[in-house]
Amino acid sequence: MKHFEHYIGGRWVPPASSSYDDVLNPYTGQVWARVARGDATDVERAVAAAQEALSGPWSKLTASQRGGLLRRMGDLLATEADEYAKVQVQENAKPIAETLPQTLNAPAWLYYYAGLADKIEGRLLPFDRTDHFAFTRYEPLGVVAAITPWNSPLRLLLWKLAPALAAGNTLVVKPSEVSPVSTLMLAELAQRAGLPAGVFNVITGTGVDVAEPLASHPEVAKLAFTGGGRNGRRVSLAAAERFCPITLELGGKSPNIIFDDSDVDAAVVGAAAAIFGSTGQTCLAGSRLLVHESIYERVVEGLVRIAASVRHGDPADMSTEYGPIPVKAQYEAVLQHIAVAQREGASVAYGGHALTGSQCAAGLFVSPTVLVDVTSDMQVWREEVFGPVVCVMPFSDDEEALRIANDSSYGLAAGVWTADLNRALDMSFRLKAGVVWVNGYRITSPTMPFGGYKASGLGREGGAEMIREYLQVKSVCINMSGQITTPFKMTDGHYAN
């Protein structure tokens, strides 16, 4: 049994409430860790520690030295990737076969932004007066609050932590109460890497008790949130009350478009991975599959074959491809979406039900589900399911595919499968999505900005320019003339208009 306090100011600190919450393994149903239950008092302490660190040893480090500490964190994480992968499997039951590669890739974010830390440069401004000297410089915002979800806790934390710390900010993190342990472990790793006390703080607890007071705290200078639209709206409203800048990475209902000139067999595999990978529990899931009418039946048959062959079971087993849904309310919501879709006229080509049996243990499994006869006015087509449910719809030509794809309140990601380069470019330009993959899906990199249009969020994470979202620009103007101009005229020893 692992036991964790809050991590504040470089120390493990008991919660003000003296209360703790159990952390369950979603597959076994067993309690394997206990974490502190935070509240507004704990948030106050964490923000104060982060604020104090801004003027402490952290502020005396050069940008290159900050980068060195991030590289050290990356080295430690790379060495201990197996352990961190196993912990995340215990937290959210994502199969180790997917979690381990993700964790092995996680240090890349630390290395990338470590390299950018000393590349932030201001500009000498071409001022319109020769006797003045003007330039810009970039400065950290201050205390950054990061609120992270349960589906990829370590990965999505690093998307925020790496640029925020590279830019010289300090951090207070509120991880999901479902998967808090990997974040707490990373705090201990950061301490071993040499981050000064107070630079990285973690408060565990619920959204109401921790996230909301954190978002509304007057000394939080930036809020970075990944999660559902409802909670995103709540924290953004709290931040907006005090004009706090915010990055929101929210939900999606991403279209995946298969044209008849594509490698259809490869596209089917890609479409299955886009929705059944991570058990569909990812904001970028390709949940709306648009297929050219000439290959529609072939694609549906291929999806059904793959869905029927996916191996579910113990997520700690490397041969397992498909895990449970770790949150009971979400499990029930997925089944409800399927039931409503059938009542509205959709047909189930495969799945559509809960999975039971010894392979499931205490886990809440929903079968990979393929829905057909879906129309664009159905709830399952328009709302994010956040589960292993794909809706398949035929289209006749490019313009119809584009119209259907863009007819959504979301705009996070999209996929295009085609052998025609002109078509690939045309579709990628006209799709209203923050990320468009061509002949691939679910591919990310520290070098590539990620984020969405419309209700899928605000701002971006990743890429060289995104470090500036954690900085503010200051203009400096130096008068070298030795003279002071004034709008007033001196008369009898007094200024007069």
Amino acid code (one letter) for 321: E
Q: What angle do CA 111, 80, 50 make, to 5 degrees?
A: 60
Cβ-count burial 107-133 (b if 16+ within 10 Å, e if not)? bbbbbbbbebbeebeeeeeeeeeeeee
Q: Give kind and range of the element (H or E) at residue 381.
A: helix 379-382
Coil, strand, or helix at residue 335?
Answer: helix
Nearest Cα neighbor of 363 from 96, 175, 100, 94 is 94
> Which active-site residues does the annotation give?
160, 249, 283, 461
Amino acid code (one letter) for 23: V
What is the dihedral angle through the alpha carbons of 349, 353, 358, 362, rounded to the nearest 10 degrees? 140
Under 8 Å between Cβ of 35 and 90: no
The per-residue DSSP string of 157-200 comes to HHHHHHHHHHTT-EEEEE--SSS-HHHHHHHHHHHHHTPPTTSE
CA distance 326 to 228: 16
Phi (first) and psi of residue 488, to 5 degrees: -110, 155
The per-residue DSSP string of 54-67 comes to HTSHHHHS-HHHHH
Q: Is 323 exposed, middle or buried (0-12, 13-18, 19+ CB in 10 A)?
A: buried
Instruction: Quote the DSSP letter at residue 152.
Output: S
The structure tokens 């565990």 sit at 204
Cβ count within 10 A of residue 336: 12
CA distance 241 to 262: 49
